[in-house]
Structure 1
Amino acid sequence: MIGKHIRHLKRYREIVSVLVKYGFGYLVKDVGLFHLLSLPKQIAADLSGNGKEQRSLGQRIRLMLEELGPTFIKLGQLLSLRTDILPEQIADELRNLQDQVTPVNVESIKQIIAEEFGAPVEEVFARFDDSCIAAASMGQAHHAQLKSGEEVAVKIRRPDIESIVANDIEILWDLASLVDKRYEWARTYQVLDLVEEFSTAVHKELDYTREARNTKKLYSFFSDNDQVVIPKVYDDYSSARVLTLDYINGYKVQDLIEHTPAGIDKTTLCEWLVRSFLDQALIFGIFHGDPHPGNLFFFSGNKIGYIDFGQVGYLNETMKRDFGDLIIGLMKGNTDLLVRTLSVMTDIPDDLNERQFKTDLDALREKYYMLPFKKVHIGKVVHDIFEVTKKHRIGIPKNYTLLGKSLITLEGIITQLDCEISILELAEPYGHKLLIHRLNLTDLTKKLFMNSYDVVDNSIHLPSLLRKTLTHLNKGKTRVEMKLPQLEFLLAKVDRAANRISFSIMLLSFSIILACIILGEAFGARSLISNIPILGIAVTIVLFMFMIVLLSIFRSGRF
């Protein structure tokens, strides 16, 4: 930890200063990083937890993350999906995080292209515009033309962004470890797991070959659909740091809000928008994870264009079925189905209060039971489900939270366009399709065959497994593992108390030994050995041993 502090000392001080600036000085002090501040900043630091400015907690967190830069902006965007653990007000504020930054100098961009393709930009493209068409924290895009004549958008990763992200994630790991040791809520909400999830997600986003694969999959899926436009990927002009796609330029959401262009009917357009997304999620199983207005284009004839597939969600057949069961259970008033489905979909804690959980789901069921689809807002449904899971500390897999967030985003766009359509009403036919698919005789036969095979296979191996287990029991080799909640936390407290007692005993022993030596020197008989500086040697040896013990206690971090 000390080595990392020294290596990233400047960045640590920046982060700590920003945390204190927005009212999180108490957190800095609790985890032991307050010393990184200069003395004037320590004196001026606000440790109340309220911040000096009259802003809400969500606003302060959002502004703090924006000031800390691209890695922390991406972290905030990930956290905005986690309404299963964050209060809705904070998650809503984090959805407003601005990912627009000052464009990188075009010469640096051209240098990256030259390194990737082994030739100057002028030789790679027939035309390459110096001004960028979009700039974000991880990369920026330029309009260009291939020598074969196609108009393309070239997305280039920002210079040195890999090292910036790597350093920030290393610091995030350190901070998460410190918070995890200090706060009970950090262990409850598995802060270390969140950092691991974020680290994986941001490294995937930095790899444009992955985005290219996602884009090509959806391009293929919608190849026969004239209403949906997905950009084509040009592999010969793409790499891990550069992605070249069809240039798409249509109407934006704001254009449609200000006036209705010719050839576009807003209601029909909204229906196609929802259906195209539901096709992705519930039919194909791969969906756009961030369908905000900046990633959507609209064209005459009510066509929809999607761009930027850096973040996608995945639903396998089981997940699609479970999501359908969740909605059916909610609408049909079947609490048992809701309990079974959520138990399969989520990570249920061992200490779940099942009776209270079922009571809360009963209340949720009553709220939506027999309510017409037109009167139900998907955003409210998702919010209510997340509130119940958050109350009972139930973890929801990322792909479900991503799906919920995407549906809420789409509903927001529909509301902006003044379209009175219900996402749930449009989703109802998909529920019937999933149900019919589940009851398909061929699929049922396959499942029955596979389950039968598993039963037979397990039955064959059961005698040998039983014999092995009994042998281990007979020889006393069986190991029993017990999971005791908070055991590690209690052991840490015991360890800390023991270290303090050891420190006190060492201090007392040191004092007694030193006193005996002094008395011996003062009142003992003089001899040849009296000429040897026994007092100095003894003090040095005892002090050396004392420092070794003291250092080992402090290094354990449990004093």
Structure 2
Amino acid sequence: MPSTPASPGEFRRLTELSMILIRYGLGDFLRYAGVDQIVEKAGELLHRSDAERIADRPAPERLRCALEEMGPTFIKLGQILSTRVDLLPPDYIHELEKLRDHVPTLPFENLVTEIEAELGRPLSEVFARIDTVPLAAGSIAQTHRAQLPTGEEVVVKIRRPGIRGVIEADLRLLRRLARFAARRFDDVARLHPEAILREFANSIHVELDFAIEGRNAETIAKNFEGDPAISTPKVFWDWTSELMNVQAFIDGVRGSDPAAVDAGGFDKREIARRGANAVLKMMFEDRFFHADPHPGNVFYLSGNRLVFIDFGMVGQLSRQRRDEMVDLLYGMVERRPDKVTEILLTWADADERQNLALEGRIDAFIDRIHGVALDRLDIASLTRDLFSAMRDHNLALPSDLTLMAKAFASLDGMGRQLDPGFDMVAEAQPFLRRQMMRRYAPDRVLRKAKDGAAEGVDLVTGLPRDLKKLLQMAQRGQLNLGIDVVRMERYLDRFDRSVTRVSMAIVTAALIVGSSMVMSFSGAKLPVGLSVFAMLGFAGSVIGGFWLIYTTWRGNGRR
């Protein structure tokens, strides 16, 4: 267990979580977390009989059920892990994707206590009508249909009271366990549990603030201005805050209801195409995208229009990351496993010594997809294979790219549900082609050249300052160097030979100059001793010159 003792509240929560894990046959997680001995002392829970375990179910299913029972923090953690296709095998990803935080509803009067305290008046005075029976209930929020005094129909999403305190307490406990497990086990450390937990904490803090969700919806709505086929619900900011989100009610068919979609007479092929193009535009052009575009988060309206909802989980790509993604796909198309490998290692911040083995795996992967007709390529399967190769080489992706991979998989699944012949690769090609053309457009090339020149000037002008800082750090003993001993020995050997050659060259040059000066005394007869020394100097310089030529030739041959 971590060195800092757990508080009584943390100990009770830890015991409760341990009992759930053991009941589902997942007690090994306790050993990885280093709490097995504490739990044994608390009640010898690790020695419960196998009859209390649910060992006949597959491990991924047991994990999903345990997370659901452990509460909202762990449900959300499982949802984040379902996006980490670079870390978990496909069977775990598939099971964790089923995590839906549907929980028993709260009585309306208990739900609204916190929000009414913030507003300073009852919700019945804010809305002309509000239904006390919820439309849906989740672990973080509950939604109710209502009507504004202006007559507009809305959906009111209200955060469960006290949920932030529960989640913050669980996060503190998880941070302690993740830090300890990473120090104790190498196979846990390679998964970077503290980084995953930071990503998770950021995500769940966003989900707890409903005002952020509203801003995300408006950003995407603005990016689709002028496109009547794609929209998002209107946000009513007079009543939207951290605790409550008020959006327009969407009177349409939810994508997760196939029977209603069939009955609605929609052109499913056109809907699949529009949905794919919308998400691809978000990724490659806007660089701000819905990270979970599954059918439950899309409504269909007449005229094959789409309305995206639920913007608690979004992804954002930098220009550099977007360009790297385009380079990756382009490298696959052009059969450049070296380029693909270089990008993957850069993403994972990995040692280049893994290059050769990974490049061979990527080369085989590219060979598989070349020569296959576009309509026969399974983008979801290809993504799984690529990330399987990364897992085998202990490589992990940045969080923004895992969300992108998750969105790709969700989009591909939604498209195939609507149209079995849906071809994600064909839909993505025009976007990739446009990005490649834009990258090499004259104005962008000129801008990159200017940026490069400015960076070069900054480097040169900043060099004296950087050298001064380096010397100051060395004087204070704050300069640390990491040395690869094997490579360093090779470099030192080369350096030693180079220094020897330089020294011999200096001596040879000195002999030539000195002997020439002695012999150049015009009109003076040199003593015999000086003449001998001058001749010896010339002879030595000749020998030294031949030695330099020989050692240089021999050294070049060794390389």
TM-score by length of 2: 0.81
Q: Hey, what does 2:376 align to over in structure 1? A: 375
Check whether the contact 1:266–1:419 (CA below 8 A) recurs between aligned residues.
Answer: no
Greater Rg over alpha carbons, structure: 2
Distance 1:83 1:45, change over 3 A: farther
| Structure 1 residue 392: Cα displacement | 1.4
- Identify which of 273, 276, 285 aligns with 2:275: 273
439 and 112 in structure 1: CA distance in 2 versus 1, 3 angstrom threshold? same
1:92 aligns with 2:88: no
Is 1:209 matched up with 2:211? yes
Structure-2 change in CA distance of 1:22 and 1:269 (3 Å): same
**Which residue of structure 2 aligns with residue 325 of structure 1?**
327
Cα pair 2:229 2:305 within 8 Å, conserved: yes
* Cα gap change, 1:45 to 1:451, in 2 (>3 Å): farther
Confirm or deny: 8 A CA contact 1:252 1:294 kept in the other structure.
yes
Q: Which residue of 2 aligns with 1:336?
A: 338
Aligned length, in residue pairs:
481
The one-letter code sitting in structure 2 at the alignment partner of 1:36 is V
The aligned amino acid for 1:378 is I
CA separation in 1, counterparts of 2:320 and 2:258?
A: 38
Query: How large is the Cα RMSD of the aligned pairs?
Result: 2.4
| Whole-Å separation in 2 of the counterparts to 1:153 and 1:254 | 19
Task: Choose the corresponding residue for 1:44, options 31, 48, 52.
Answer: 48
Q: In the aligned structure 1, how far is the partner of 2:84 from the partner of 2:471?
A: 46
Structure 1 residues 246 and 483, CA gap change in structure 2 (3 angstroms) = farther
1:348 corresponds to: 349
Offset at 1:469?
4.3
Of stretches 100-109 and 269-278 in structure 1, the one that deviates more from structure 2 is 100-109
Instruction: Rate the CA distance shift 1:43–1:477 in 2: closer, same or farther, 3 A.
Output: closer
1:501 aligned residue? none
Q: 1:121 aligned to 2:120?
A: no
Q: Contact between 1:331 and 1:370, CA under 8 Å: does it hold in 2?
A: no
Note closer, same or farther for the CA distance 1:472–1:367 as it changes in structure 2 (3 Å cut).
same
Aligned-partner Cα distance in 2 for 1:369–1:202: 40
Alignment of 1:3-42 (within 5 A): 3-29=5-31, 31-36=34-39, 39=43, 41-42=45-46
Partner residue, 1:140:
142
Work out whether 1:429 is the aligned partner of 2:436.
Answer: no
Counterparts of 1:463 and 1:4, CA distance in 2: 50
2:253 to 231, 251, 254: 251
State how far apart, in whole Å, the 2-side matches of 1:205 and 1:453 are: 40
For residue 261 of structure 1, report the CA deviation from its aligned partner.
Answer: 3.4
Any conservation in 2 of the 1:143–1:151 contact (CA below 8 Å)? yes
Q: Which residue of 1 aligns with 2:225?
A: 223
For 1:480 and 1:262, the matched residues in 2 are separated by 68
User: Are the aligned partners of 2:36 and 2:46 in contact in 1 as well (CA < 8 Å)?
Assistant: no
Gaps in structure 1 of 5+ consecutive residues: 485-559
Contact 2:113–2:161 (Cα < 8 Å) also in 1: no
Equivalents in 1 of 2:317, 2:472: separation in Å? 43
Please say which of residues 328-337 and 458-467 is displaced more in the overlay.
458-467
Hey, what's the Cα distance between the residues in 1 that align with 2:67 and 2:8?
A: 23
SS of 1:85's partner is coil
8 A contact 2:154–2:247 mirrored in 1: yes
Counterpart of 2:363 in structure 1 is 362
1:212 positional shift: 1.3
Give, in angstroms, the shift of residue 4 of structure 1: 2.7
- Which amino acid letter does the alignment assign opposite residue 293 of structure 2? P
Higher relative contact order (CA 8 A, sep 6+): 2
Moved more, 403-412 or 17-26: 17-26
**Deviation of residue 333 (structure 1)?**
1.4
One-letter identity of the residue aligned with 1:119? R
Shift of 1:260: 2.1
- Tell me which of 71, 74, 78 is aligned to 2:73: 71
Give 1:255 deviation, angstroms. 3.5
User: Which string of whole-angstrom CA distances, capped at 9 and with x for unpartnered residues, describes residues 19-43 of structure 1?
Assistant: 1112232443562344435547444
* Offset from partner CA, 1:405-432 (integer Å, 9 cap, x none): 1111121122222431211101100011
Q: Structure 2 regions of 5+ residues with no counterpart? A: 485-559
Structure 1 equivalent of residue 530 of structure 2: none
Counterpart residue type for residue 48 of structure 2? A
